[in-house]
Amino acid sequence: MIELKKQVTFNIHRMGEDKKPYLETFQLECTEATTVLQALETIKADLDGSLTFRRSCRASICGSCGMFINNRSRLACRTKVKDMVDLNSDEELILEISPQKNQPVIKDLVVDITPFYEKIEKNNPFIQEGSEKVEQVDKTSYEQVNMVSNCIMCGSCYSDCTALAENKNYLGPAALAKMFRFVADPREGQKKKRLKELSKKNGIWDCTRCGLCIDACPKGVAPMEAIVKLRTRAIESGITNNKGAKHAMVFKNDLAKGGLLNEFWMILKTFGLFGAIKQLPNAVHLAKKGKIPPIFSEKVEGFEEIDAIFKQLKENPINVETKKEDDGPGAG
Ligand code: SF4
Ligand code: SF4
Ligand code: FES
C-alpha cells in the first residue's frame, strides 16, 4: 500500500523574549501516522531551532505537551495531523497551533503553569489526619477515587475552562477534581473542613457547568462530574450558607413543588433582600423586554411525571459515599 503523504501548513502562534506575539507559517509533509508533536519536532530540527514547546514522554503520560490545536486544548503527542485536517482533500491543509489559554505565555507554545500548580498546592493535596478518617478502604471507594487519580496535570481542562476565562482566581477543574480525590477517600480525616473551604468564593460553586473540561481531558477524568459530586457532598454535609448551595436548593425545591423555576423567588432566596435589590437593574432590563417572572407559579403540565421522579428519589436516596452516584453523565 502506498503511504499517503501530504503537504500541511502549520500556522504557529509564537512569542519571543520581547513578548510581541506573531504568527509563523511552516510547510511540512505529513503522513497518516504523523502526530502534531512529531511535526513540531521536525520543524524544530529542520526548519527553525528556536521554536519552543514542552514535551517529554511522547505517550500521553507526562502531560507536558498540552497546547491549543485547531481551537481546542489537546496533547500534541496524542493528536494525529490526519484527525485535524483531511489528508484526502485537494484544498490547502491548514493546522493552527497556539499556547494553552488562561495562563501567561512564557515563550512560543510554553505557558507559565505556576498558577495551575499553586491552586492545587494551596489546598493540601495529601491525606490529612482527623476524626473523619476510616481505616477500611473498600472497592467502592477505590472506584470513586480511581477516575480522578488518572489526571496527568496536562492543563487542557484549565486551558478550556470558561469560568477561568472570566475569573483567574477560580480554582479550576483540575484542582477541584484533585480535591474530590481526597474528599472521596475514606482515609481522609478532614472531609468537612475541605468541603467548607471549597464552598467559598472561587470554589465549587463558581463552575458554570459548561462541560468543556470533560471534552478536553485526554484521560477521562471528567472534572465537572467531580465538581458536581463535591457540591452534592457539601450540601449533604450541611454546608449550605452560600449563594451556590442556596441557588441549587431553591432550584430543586421549585421543581419538586411545581416543576417550574420561579425566578422571582429564586433571586430573593439566593441573594437575600439586599442582594436582590442589587439585581434591580437586571430586573428592569428584563421587564423592558417583557420578561417579568410571575410571583406565584402554577404547576406545569405533566407535573405528575416530575413528581414521580422526586418520589422515587425519596424512596431510594442516592448515597453519595457509594459508587451508585457514578451512574450516568453528571450524576451525583
Ligand atoms: S464545567 Fe466548570 S470547571 Fe469545567 S470547564 Fe466548564 S466552568 Fe470550567
Ligand atoms: S483533569 Fe484531565 S485535562 Fe485536566 S489536567 Fe488532569 S488530565 Fe489534564
Ligand atoms: S509528551 Fe508527555 S503527554 Fe505528550
* Run of H or E including 227: helix 223-236
**Single-letter amino acid, residue 44:** K
What separation in Å is there between the alpha carbon of 54 and the centre of ligand 3? 8
Query: Residues 6 or more apart from 246 whose CB is under 8 A from it?
Result: 240, 269, 270
Residue with cell 471549597: 198
User: What pLDDT, in 10s, does the model give residues 21-60?
Assistant: 999 999 999 999 999 999 999 999 999 999 999 999 999 9
Contact assessment for residue 230 and residue 198, using Cβ atoms and an 8 Å cutoff? yes
Q: What is the pLDDT of residue 2?
A: 66
What is d(CA 263, CA 254) in angstroms, rounded to the nearest whole number?
10
What is d(CA 68, CA 101) in angstroms, rounded to the nearest whole number?
7
> Which residue's C-alpha comes closest to atom 4 of ligand 1?
213
Residue 35 in grid coordinates: 502526530
- What are 28's strand-pairing partners? 8
- What are 80's strand-pairing partners? 35
Return the CATH fold of 5-111.
Ubiquitin-like (UB roll) (3.10.20)
Query: Residues 6 or more apart from 128 whose CB is under 8 A from it?
Result: 182, 188, 189, 190
Report the alpha-carbon angle 94-97-102, nearest 5.
145
Q: What is the pLDDT of residue 329?
A: 41
Task: Give the residue, out of 53, 54, 55, with the most ligand 3 atoms within 8 A of its beta carbon, to mutate for a pocket test.
Answer: 55
Q: What is the pLDDT of residue 45?
A: 98
Residue 177 CA: nearest ligand 2 atom is 1
Low-confidence ranges of the chain (pLDDT < 70): 1-2, 320-332
* Ranges of CATH 1.10.1060.10 domains, the chain: 114-242
Residue 158 CA: nearest ligand 2 atom is 4
In terms of residues, how long is the chain?
332
* Ranges of CATH 3.10.20.30 domains, the chain: 5-111
Return the CATH fold of 114-242.
Fumarate Reductase Iron-sulfur Protein; Chain B, domain 2 (1.10.1060)
Q: What is the pLDDT of residue 3?
A: 80
| 71-74 long-range contacts, CB within 8 A, separation 24+ | 71/96, 72/160, 72/215, 72/216, 73/100, 73/101, 73/155, 73/156, 73/157, 73/159, 73/160, 73/216, 74/36, 74/156, 74/216, 74/218
Report H helices in 259-299: 263-278, 280-288
Of 137, 75, 153, which is closest to residue 109 (Cα–Cα)?
A: 75
> Which residue's C-alpha comes closest to atom 2 of ligand 2?
217
Query: Residues 6 or more apart from 50 whose CB is under 8 A from it?
Result: none
Backbone angles phi, psi at 250, to 5 degrees: -65, -45
Ligand 1 lined by 163 (C-beta under 6 Å): yes
Specify the 3-state DSSP secondary structure of 5.
strand
